[in-house]
Homo-oligomer: A and B are copies of this chain.
């Protein structure tokens, strides 16, 4: 009897992501089981199949990856899987719906190359989306003063509440919602920020080159939009620590190399134990180790 490393790919879309599959195989997985159309309501018996097929010592060679374009649905599937496990009868899980966790971790780590996040004010544009909320959450965890923005102040506040609900007192006094209905709001926020993140959906420029001139304190600008137009006008998609004045700029592809490494290392780490649950914070920790190694 052999115990090859098996990754079970649970994807909420009608076709499981090729991207996630190739990264998994490049991470050394022996066999990939692709599942599409996964929802919290149909995942339970599949998880039982992961739990009850191998003995305690070999369970670490089975793991679950949760993907799909809907990050919130991925989170719900992850919660359902947690509920399905009992005691030590479990396998390791990585949650990365829409690539939001690996992307957010990589973006925050790129910023951390240039500034001490715990001593900075950061602003997150498109902060109500799946990546933006995770970027804000990870920044708060790092001790940053985070301004989460949205055109709609109510949505910004709801996103902040969701993060506070998740991480508790760590968010106290560190996370504020900012609506951008008026141009003055935007300018006031930008003027204070040491790091500027743009995490909005494709198709919209969130900060014009003109507006960016207000951000005189900015040491880092990171635009995670991979498709033109740029989220931050003037930041290139290929930028990777491109210096413009006092500021280091990163584009989506510039962040992408680290994101891919984090994704692969996270997959590999799944097979070291049978009880890991890799959400944004744990995936960020994987990235921190990569960064230490890089600078060592």
CA A33 to CA B19, docked complex, whole Å? 11
Is B1 a contact partner of A26 (Cβ separation < 8 A)? yes
A87 to chain B, nearest CB (A): 13
Q: List 7 A-B contacts (CB under 8 A).
A: A15-B46, A18-B47, A18-B53, A19-B49, A21-B49, A22-B54, A53-B260
Stretch at the interface among A3-11, A131-139, A148-156, A182-190: A3-11
Is A34 a contact partner of B33 (Cβ separation < 8 A)? yes
With contacts A1-B264, A2-B28, A264-B1 known, is A22 near B49, CB below 8 A? yes
CA A260 to CA B54, docked complex, whole Å? 10
List of B residues within 8 angstroms of A3 by Cβ: 26
CA A248 to CA B260, docked complex, whole Å? 56
Q: Which of A24-45 contact B (CB under 8 A)?
A: 25-28, 30-35, 37-38, 42, 45
A142 to chain B, nearest CB (A): 28
**Which size bracket describes the interface of A in this complex?**
35 or more
The 8 A-B residue pairs with the shortest CB-CB distance in the complex, in nearest-first order: A18-B49, A19-B49, A22-B53, A18-B46, A25-B31, A21-B33, A18-B50, A1-B26
- Residues of A near any B CB (own CB < 8 A): 1-4, 6, 8, 14-15, 17-23, 25-28, 30-35, 37-38, 42, 45-50, 52-54, 62, 69, 256, 260, 264
List of B residues within 8 angstroms of A42 by Cβ: 14-15
With contacts A15-B42, A34-B33 known, is A22 near B50, CB below 8 A? yes
Identify which of A34, A49, A54 gathers the most chain B CB atoms within 10 Å of its CB. Answer: A49
Is B49 a contact partner of A20 (Cβ separation < 8 A)? yes
With contacts A1-B264, A14-B42, A42-B14 known, is A62 near B22, CB below 8 A? yes
CA A77 to CA B30, docked complex, whole Å? 29
With contacts A14-B42, A33-B34, A37-B14 known, is A52 near B1, CB below 8 A? no
A73 to chain B, nearest CB (A): 16
CA A53 to CA B49, docked complex, whole Å? 29
Chain B residue at smallest Cβ distance from A3 = B26
CA A27 to CA B20, docked complex, whole Å? 24
A228 to chain B, nearest CB (A): 13
